[in-house]
Chains A and B, each alone.
Chain A
Amino acid sequence: MSAGAVQIAPPAKRRRALPGTLVGAVIVLGASLAMAFFPSLFAPYDPTAFDYNAIMHGPSWAHPFGTDNFGRDMLSRVIHAYRIDMQIAVFATTGPFIFGTIVGALVGYVGGWVEAVFGRVVDAVITFPFLVLVIAIVSVLGPGLRNMYIAVGVVDWVFYARLVSAEVKIQRRLDYADAARGMGYGHMRIIFRHLLPNAITPAVVYLMTDMALAILLGSSLGYLGLGAQPPAAEWGVLIADGKNFMTTAWWVSVFPGIAIVITGLGFSLAGDALADLLRVNR
């Protein structure tokens, strides 16, 4: 070969077509966040104001989502509920995500008996019905959102830890991990700088799914009276409010239900988009 520098083909274009999922996710979640931060900009009425002249009115131009049994505007209540429900999505999952990721990375790297013990913990948590466990914890600690976060956190980190540990275990066997060890790098550097960036994608994708699940769980607990407390507007509470009038005033329960579905869809799209964007180029 010649001694000169070797020509390298022009860099492969890293830009990919913007995934449709990303566009969808940005639209849905952007709108959700906007309503969570500035509900008053979007809500036409005060969500707690009673209007005895408009009790249980169906959807109309004045009240697109109808009114409830106190004459409160359902559109305004659904919009104001974004704040609590988006808060649930973020607060209930962030702690478990961070804690589970760190634990999973350590477990996957150390392996051996630590991994065996961790595996049994995972089994125990997974075989226990999640909702029942959370309800049990909340009943002991008392209803309310903060206790719900605690209850979710006790269980939820396990799923992140399991995803990350499995992935770290794969990564640590690759030559680049040996190369880092051969360089004499410290364990923490190897785990968090070399292995984790290659192992975290499934956990990030699951985080999006988990946010949707957290909203569902928050709504379920709200419905059961264990989560957000009335008169706070929260979708589960709203659905519960409407359950007695389902046959005569369907709109009271159905519109909060639709809000849950759309937000959940937004998180799912975000999960798909992230999976795409974080894909490793080999």
Chain B
Amino acid sequence: MRDMPLISVEGVSKRFRLPRTASDILTGRPPAAVHALNNVDLEVHRGETLGIVGESGCGKSTLARCLVRLLEPDEGLVRFDGKDIGLLPQAERRAFNRRVQMIFQDPYSSLNPRMSVRQVLSEALSVHAMRPKADIPARITELLGLVRLPADAANRYPHEFSGGQRQRIGIARALAVEPEVLVADELVSALDVSVQAQVINLLLDLQERLKLTVVFVAHDLRLVRHISHRVAVMYLGKVVETGPTEALFATPRHPYSKALLDAAPELDPARQTRVAAARGELPNPLDLPTGCLFNTRCPFAFERCFAERPNLSNRGPAHFAACHLTDFGKPTPATIAAQ
């Protein structure tokens, strides 16, 4: 299983062109573009939970949308089950849409306000022919039970539910088509903290029961640490480090990962340390730095970092980082001396 990833992202880049301005036309320049994803490599294995973390604007959501093919990559490709999802014929495309489902961040805009829960679920069930027509009502009740909503929720409209309940309707919609992969984009960031736990526990429970593969996009590090088997850290549209959760949190091997982890507030005062967070602001994604994308903020940057962009290379079992300092974060006396 480990050898053949369920989803593999290979060198995916995505740009969003801005409208052409008057000066673009006068100077004959192509219009500026936001570089949302820059040569992303990533693998998702069957049955695992992969957490994708990073600051806002780092391309997490864009990557999530590329995974479910709501966005087409400009370069590179996404493979699902070994096949490029951009080249699937109609019938397989449909199957792909069923097998990989997305759950959205905003519980308010992700449900059609004019459709009752029953309509939402029965549409998914009947379009994908999941059940014979006669069995649909029973399946709707079953799905609602799965996300811990009462059966009579079926007759209500989205505005009659709270944010957490709406997210559970979104999960039920995704589960209706019995997917293998759930891509959850900031699933709980719009919810109250007290409700977040409910929704997260529901997701974990469902994952275990239904053997789901989950890609969990979030900016909350503690949450990601809690639920992920593996973590990918993104910076400026690139995956800079990926590894098993515990290894990555214990010994981050990329200076950005370290800065990000150190910046997370620690509840336990004994463990609180004041570590220099990454200096300065995120560079303008319209105009990326040459060389390593992190070189404008990295305290360890040297000449090579400004000339050459590092690729992911191995740092340990299933642990990769894109940094020229191959020793960075390595748990040896050398790292202590380096700092």
Contact = CB atoms under 8 A, between A and B. Distances in A.
Contact of B165 (A1, A6, A183): A6
Interface in A1-35: 1, 3-6, 8, 11-12
Contacts of B161: 8
B102 A198 contact: no
A189 to B, nearest CB: 8
A175 B104 contact: yes
Interface in A187-205: 189, 193-194, 197-198
A182 B68 contact: yes
Interface in B68-108: 68, 70, 93-94, 96-98, 101-102, 104-106, 108
Contacts of A120: none
B197 interface: yes
Interface residues of B, number: 43
A182 B109 contact: no
Given A179-B173, A183-B177, A184-B128, A174 B109 contact: yes
B92 to A, nearest CB: 11
A182 B102 contact: yes
Given A5-B149, A11-B156, A282 B108 contact: yes
A52 interface: no
Contacts of A4: 148
A280 interface: yes
B44 interface: no
A134 B327 CA distance: 80
A176 interface: yes
Nearest to A6: B148
> Main secondary structure on chain A at its contact with chain B?
loop
B162 to A, nearest CB: 8
A175 B110 contact: yes
A179 B165 contact: no
Interface in B106-145: 106, 108-115, 123-124, 127-128, 145
Given A1-B198, A178-B70, A282-B159, A183 B110 contact: no
B165 A176 contact: no
Given A183-B101, A184-B94, A281-B113, 12 more contacts: A6-B150, A8-B150, A175-B110, A176-B111, A178-B104, A181-B70, A183-B128, A184-B93, A198-B112, A198-B113, A198-B114, A281-B158
Interface of A: 1, 3-6, 8, 11-12, 174-176, 178-185, 189, 193-194, 197-198, 280-282
